[in-house]
């Protein structure tokens, strides 16, 4: 009894996943650190509303 259909199906699935991985690695773009406020957090409520949370505002940070 030969299982050629399942072996061919598995081999094609592996080849497709490898091709997707290679394309994902080569087409990926680098992320710009701090772009669009991704690095700093803006406080939404309270006395320090609309200020960036940094060392001066946060007391527990060393």
pLDDT tens per residue, range 7-58: 999 999 999 999 999 888 888 777 666 666 556 677 888 887 888 777 666 6
* Contact predicate 5/13, CB 8 Å: no
Task: Look up the pTM and report it.
Answer: 0.41
Q: What is the pLDDT of residue 3?
A: 81
Domain residue ranges in the chain: 4-31
Distances (CA, A) of 38 to 28, 32, 49, 53, 54: 19, 9, 18, 12, 14
């Amino acid at each position: 009894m030969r299982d050629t259909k399942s072996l061919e199906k598995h081999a094609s699935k592996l080849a497709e996943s490898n091709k997707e991985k290679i394309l994902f690695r080569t087409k990926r773009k680098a992320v710009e650190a701090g772009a669009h406020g991704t690095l700093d957090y803006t406080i939404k409520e309270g006395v320090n509303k609309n200020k960036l949370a940094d060392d001066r505002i946060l007391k527990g940070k060393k």
